[in-house]
Amino acid sequence: MTQPVFTATALTKTYVTGEVEVHALNNVDLEIAEREVVVLLGPSGSGKTTLLNIMGGLDHPTSGRLFFRDLELTRLNDRDLTNYRRRNIGFVFQFYNLVPSLTAYENVALVTEISDRPMRPDEALSLVGLEARMHNFPAQLSGGEQQRVAIARAIAKRPAVLLCDEPTGALDSKTGIRVIEALLGINRQLGTTTVIITHNASIQEVADRVLFFADGRISRIQANETRREAATLSW
Ligand SMILES: Nc1ncnc2c1ncn2[C@@H]1O[C@H](COP(=O)(O)OP(=O)(O)OP(=O)(O)O)[C@@H](O)[C@H]1O
C-alpha cells in the first residue's frame, strides 16, 4: 500500500471558553489515501471544519499527531505551516471570495503569479469547463460558475490536496452538481486528493469513503464500492 497523504493519531482539539470546554475533535485516528475522494458528513458542530482546518495548516490541534506524507505537521511552527499550506493545499469555501473588479482569468492569475509551477489560468479554467467565460467578471457569472472559478484558482498551483468546506452550500441542485462534477474531474485528471465537507447526504455517493462525524469523533466510515457520477445525482 502506498503511503497515506494524511495520517492522524489521537488528534484532539479542545476549546476552553471561561469554564466551558468544548471537545471539537476528540481522539481522532484517520488515514486518507493519495487520490482519494472523502466526504465528511455530520451535524453542525461535530468537528468537520476543525479537522479540515488542521489538515490545511490553518489551525493547531491541542494534542495528537498529524502527518502529511512523511512531514509531521504537528511539529511545524506557523511559518513552516504557512509554507506547507502554500505548496500543497487548495481551499474551496462556501462563498467564493473572488475579487469583483477582476475577470475570471485575472482572479486565477493572482494565484499563478505567486506559485512555483502553476498551470496557466486558461488551462485551470478549462478544467472546470469555463474557458469560454474567462474574460467575464464575477457579477456576470452564476453562483455555480463563480464557484468553479474559485476551484480553478485553488487548483492552478497543482496542490496535492483540495479541501472543500460546503462547496455547494450556497447553490441550487443543478449548479451544485456541476461544481461536484468539476471537483471529480480534477481528481481524475490531476490525481488531487479531495476532502469535501457537506450537509448534503446525496453527495456522499460520489466519494470513495464517507466519514460520519458525531461529537468530535468519527462515528462510522463507509467505503463505497463504486463512485457515482455527479451528473446522475439529484437533490
Ligand atoms: N474558535 C472557537 N472557539 C470555541 N469553540 C469553537 C471554536 N471553533 C469551533 N468551536 C466549537 O467546536 C465544535 C466543532 O466545530 P466545527 O466548526 O468543527 O463543527 P462542524 O462540524 O464543521 O460544524 P458546521 O457543520 O456547522 O460547520 C463546535 O461545538 C464549535 O462551537
The answer to whether residue 1 sits within a structural domain is no
Measured between alpha carbons, how far is 98 from 44 in angstroms, rounded to an integer?
A: 26
Mean pLDDT value across residues 69-77: 96
The answer to whether residue 167 sits within a structural domain is yes
Ligand 1: nearest atom to the Cα of 213: 21
Measured between alpha carbons, how far is 51 from 235 in angstroms, rounded to an integer?
A: 26
The answer to whether residue 144 sits within a structural domain is yes
The answer to whether residue 29 sits within a structural domain is yes
Confidence of residue 60 (pLDDT cuts 50, 70, 90): very high
Is the Cβ atom of 159 under 6 angstroms away from ligand 1? no
Strand partners, 221: 211
pLDDT for 114-171, tens place per residue?
778 899 999 999 999 999 999 999 999 999 999 999 999 999 999 999 999 999 998 8
Is the Cβ atom of 21 under 6 angstroms away from ligand 1? no
Range of the domain at 88: 6-232
Residue 233 has a pLDDT of 81
Q: Are 209 and 222 in contact (CB under 8 A)?
A: yes
Is the Cβ atom of 118 under 6 angstroms away from ligand 1? no
Say what percent of the chain tops pLDDT 90. Answer: 85
The answer to whether residue 122 sits within a structural domain is yes
The answer to whether residue 107 sits within a structural domain is yes
* Predicted-complex ipTM score: 0.94
Ligand 1: nearest atom to the Cα of 47: 18
CA distances from 202 to 151, 190, 205, 207, 233 (A): 21, 24, 6, 10, 7
CATH number, position 82:
3.40.50.300
Mean pLDDT value across residues 203-232: 93
Q: Are 57 and 84 in contact (CB under 8 A)?
A: yes
The answer to whether residue 56 sits within a structural domain is yes
Cell of 79: 511559518
The answer to whether residue 89 sits within a structural domain is yes
**Domain total of the chain:** 1
Is the Cβ atom of 214 under 6 angstroms away from ligand 1? no
